[in-house]
Amino acid sequence: MPRPRPLHLPSGRPPRLPLHQMAAEVSATLDGHEPTTLLRVTGCPPKVGYLSLDGEHPLDTLLGFTAPHDWLGIGVHCVGSALLLDPPPGSEPRAVTITALVDRSNQGAGVLRYHSSGRGAGPVDGVPGRGHDPPEGDDREVAAIVHYDEPPEGVVGDACRRALGLPTPPPPFSTAELWLRLWLDEVVEAALFQERPDRYDSWEAVAALHPAVCHPWLLGSSANSGWLGDPHGLAEATLALAERWSWPRLRREPEVVALGVAQACRRLAGWMDDGMFARAVLDEVASLPWLGRSAAAVLPPPVLEDVNTVIRANGLDWSRCAHPARATREGVGQ
């Protein structure tokens, strides 16, 4: 990528860029030619510059990166796979080319090109945006082209925002889901891979793997040995953990969460914000629906129901990974 020339912008609100038009042009130009490309918008009038990443994941470049002041926007062009949230039986992921841009005013736009063996399939069900048939003269196997007018989502979208110094969407209300996921991940792994998986047929053995029980130092002087006794007590322990270890505190002390992402978080904690940190950590742990299905396969029904009691007392259920309700310690057991 050529070294950008300094650009002196007027103070105040950043200029509004024609991101939708830019994303469409980049998508048409690069599709089928570059597997991964970092995009930058500079100049007056603004133009898009390209940096080929030679097939590397965009996060390898974006994590920890701070865009120069004369970059008006940043984005990515990459390939991947897409699968609907409720796919029909026998469906397979579809190849998709993603082009996304975000500017310094936190406006965004992008294009999704879905590829398949057919042509002219029109809009893709379940995907927001405007669907179009492939343009005339395009002989590649494009099933649909979907445009959207929002900033990119996910960890890559977060990284684009942080590279521009912008805030990302806020984290979940509390860290309760994180502690529950860590607990259930330990339960499923122990029940599947221990020499005596039947030892986890009791509530006491399953509850003993909860972070508040395994590591009472997490709660300091508020630790309560009685939390092991029943599901409502363990639900209270989860809420106590969430109150003591908020997302801002975990971002300041990421070594508390013993995950593969912890090393990167320690290095990048000052570059991330709370929302990006939370999503990066949660992405490293199996989802609550997956853990629920796995727990149902390895735990006896009475123990599974006790586990479900803890989940519900924290305002969650097996089918959701976001907090539908703000559970409080006072509400546990009522």
The model's pLDDT over 79-123, given as tens digits with 9 standing for 90+, comes to 877 665 555 566 666 788 899 999 999 999 999 988 874 333 333
C-beta of residue 249 within 8 angstroms of C-beta of residue 226 = no
- What does the alpha-carbon distance between residue 268 and residue 273 come to, in Å, rounded to a whole number? 9
* pLDDT score of 210 more than 80: yes
Q: How many CB atoms lie within 10 A of CB 284?
A: 15
**pLDDT at residue 84, rounded to an integer:** 58
In the prediction, which pLDDT does 200 show? 78
**Confidence at 324, pLDDT banded by 50, 70, 90:** very low
pLDDT of residue 195: 66
What contacts 27, CB < 8 A, 6 or more positions away?
77, 97, 99, 111, 113, 145
221-274: pLDDT as tens digits: 766 666 667 899 999 999 999 999 999 999 998 888 766 566 677 788 889 999
Average pLDDT of the chain is 79
Instruction: Give one DSSP letter per residue of 178-241, joined into a string.
Output: HHHHHHHHHHHHHHHHSS-GGGGGSHHHHHTTSHHHH-GGGTGGG--GGGGSSHHHHHHHHHHH
Cβ neighbours of residue 198 under 8 Å, at least 6 residues apart? Answer: none
Q: Where are the domains of the chain?
A: 19-163, 176-331
Give the model's confidence band at 66: pLDDT under 50 very low, under 70 low, under 90 confident, else very high: very high
Top pLDDT among 305 and 193 is at 305
pLDDT at 269: 83
Residue keyed to tokens 């199996």: 286
- What's the token pair of residue 192? 């599947």
Minimum mean pLDDT range among 7-16, 62-71, 123-132, 175-184: 123-132
Q: Is the pLDDT of residue 166 over 90?
A: yes
